[in-house]
Every structure is written in C-alpha cells, then in structure tokens.
Structure 1
Amino acid sequence: MRQSTVHTGQRVAVLADAQNLYHTAQSVYSRKIDYAALLESAVDDRDLIRAIAYVIEANSPDEESFFEALEEIGFETRRKEIRTFGDGSKKADWDVGMSLDAVSLASKVDTLVLCTGDGDFARLCSHLTHEGVRVEVASFGASTADQLVEAAHTHYDLDDEADRFLL
C-alpha cells in the first residue's frame, strides 16, 4: 500500500469513516472491511498516536459486537445515532467531527491517514498540508472523489488489494 515518503518514526493518526467504507464495500463487493488489515497497512511500521473509527448507531443486532471488535483492534470509536426527521429522511455523518479531530491532532502527528472517499474532506487535506502534516487517503478508488485524491499527498486504492482489506 505504501508508495512514497514514509519514514519509520513518523507519528501517525488514522481516522476511519466507517459508514463511507461500509457502503462502498457492500455496494461494490458485498463484503465487510477488515479493519485490522486497514489499520496495520495505514500505520506501516510508523508510530501510531491515535486510531479513531467514526461509526453510526443504527440499533442493528450486530453493531455492539462490531464496535467492540474495532476497539480490540486498536480503534477508539466515536458513535453517533441516526437522526430521523419528520419527513422520514435519516441523517448521520461524521464530517465535522472527523475534521475537528484531524485539526486537533495536526500538531501531534507527522502524518494523518484519512480512510474515506468523501470529497468533503478535500478542503481538510489542504488545511492540514498547510499546517505541515502529510495527508494520506486510503479508500476504494471506484467511489473516491477526485478532489480528495488530488488534495492528498498519497492515495492508497483499496481496490488494488481488495482481498487484503475485505472479509
């Protein structure tokens, strides 16, 4: 997965947009993400400072065991409930929360790995780069916004090694 300027000793944080990864893995592959493989590859023998997975609570039967598995792997979990509006529409996303965590971590890390294909994070990449942080994106290329790929120092396309990153 690693393609360029990576040094052992770099301090790295990994922020995983679980909802974004889940939807792509399900729609393209009908499979689930292997978060242990994702974290190991994202860290790549560097010093892990923080790993945070942003999850949505949907009251599904297996979600608590999924959250516990993430924590056993080494992720902190940030949880948000789905909000249902009067018209029946539902919304739950972590864009602002992930961005705030990334900005807060910027002074503590050399590299930040965003595990998402959401183009809304392109501006965050530009900001972090301006702050001197190396930004890497790990996502499924087929569903990753071009502006996010362009804004990051490096994009690791999980499609290239799908069997490694999927259960």
Structure 2
Amino acid sequence: MTEIHPDQRVAILADAQNLYHTAQSLYSRNIDYSSLLEKGTAGRALTRAIAYVIRADSPDEERFFDALVDIGFETKIKDIKTFGDGSKKADWDLGIALDAVSLANHVDTVVLCSGDGDFERLCSHLRHEGVRVEVMSFKESTAEELVDASDAFIDLSERKETFLL
C-alpha cells in the first residue's frame, strides 16, 4: 500500500449516478462536487478527476455536466438505454473499472466515489498492483465488501454539511 504524502498522485473517479441516487434517497439533497474533489485530493497532486454521468434528457442536466467541468472534473457521458419493455439501463461500472486499471501505473492513489459492491474486485486488484484505494461514499448504502477491500473509507454521511448542497 502506498502511504499518504504531499507529492502523491491521485485520480478521483466519481460514479455520479450512484452518488446522486444515494444522496437523494437518504437526504433529498445533491452532492457538492467541489468539496468531493477538494477533500478527495486532500492536498495531494491531482492527476485526473473523472465524473461518470448518464444523459437521461432531464432538465438542467447539461448545466450540471458543464458545472462538473468548471469544478475540475472531466465528464464521461453515456446515454440511458430504453428497452422494448420500457425498462431503462445505464451504468458505468465497466468504464470506471477500465479507467482505474489504465490509470494504475500513473497514480499512487485512486479515490473511488461510489458505494457499489461490484467494485470490490477492482479495489483488490489495484491494491495488489501497489495502488492505494480510498472509497468515498455514504456508509448506509455502501457495500461492506467494498469498505473492506479499500485502504481507507470516507463516510460522506458523517460530514453532510461538507459533502451535500
């Protein structure tokens, strides 16, 4: 595991859908992405910040995407898919995992902003490669195996005044 130091290179990967739905269901509030970026970086050298978002043709979503860029995130946008039976699907799990693995040789730490337990194997792989893994999410909706697979867990619920708008 890489120890924390000021010259540490950090990548922040934010699963915006996971964060949004959790913040809405628990607190009926939105995420403060500026604080997420600031606290996730924690004074270390930011190599890359990526927010993975879904385009669902909702009002103001383009303004949200632009705000993420203004804050310092690169946005990766995927259109929501609607199937013949009316069901909808869109997620970035594979894209986030691929980006994390690709960045592993260029960073000391990956900060994964998601509570999705599907990322447990990704955390284990990154740690095996010598990359520190920090998870930032809401404890109430974060898979225990994800917390256990990370080097550090930051519970956004413990600092609602910081991480929620």
> Structure 2 length normalisation: TM-score?
0.98
Which segments of 5 or more consecutive residues in structure 2 lack a partner in the other structure? none
Which segments of 5 or more consecutive residues in structure 1 lack a partner in the other structure? none
Moved over 2 A (4+): none
SS in 1 for 2:63: helix
Shift of 1:61: 1.4
CA distance in 1 between partners of 2:121 and 2:129 (Å): 13
Residue number in structure 2 paired with 1:45: 43
Residue number in structure 1 paired with 2:84: 86
Matches within 5 A, 1:1-167: 5-167=3-165
CA distance in 1 between partners of 2:32 and 2:5 (Å): 25
Shift of 1:33: 0.3
CA distance in 1 between partners of 2:26 and 2:59 (Å): 23
CA distance in 2 between partners of 1:102 and 1:126 (Å): 12
> Structure 1 length normalisation: TM-score?
0.97
SS in 2 for 1:14: strand
Percent sequence identity over aligned pairs: 68
Letter in 2 for 1:7: H
SS in 2 for 1:108: coil
SS in 2 for 1:65: helix
SS in 2 for 1:107: coil
Q: Deviations over 1:136-159 (max 9, x none)?
A: 000000000000000000000000
Q: Deviations over 1:106-126 (max 9, x none)?
A: 000000000000000000000
SS in 1 for 2:49: strand
CA distance in 1 between partners of 2:6 and 2:139 (Å): 26
CA distance in 1 between partners of 2:108 and 2:8 (Å): 6
CA distance in 1 between partners of 2:75 and 2:111 (Å): 16
Shift of 1:134: 0.2
Q: Deviations over 1:3-61 (max 9, x none)?
A: xx421110000000000000010000000000000000000000000000000000011
**Cα RMSD between the aligned structures?**
0.5
Q: Deviations over 1:66-111 (max 9, x none)?
A: 0000000000000000101111110000000000000000000000
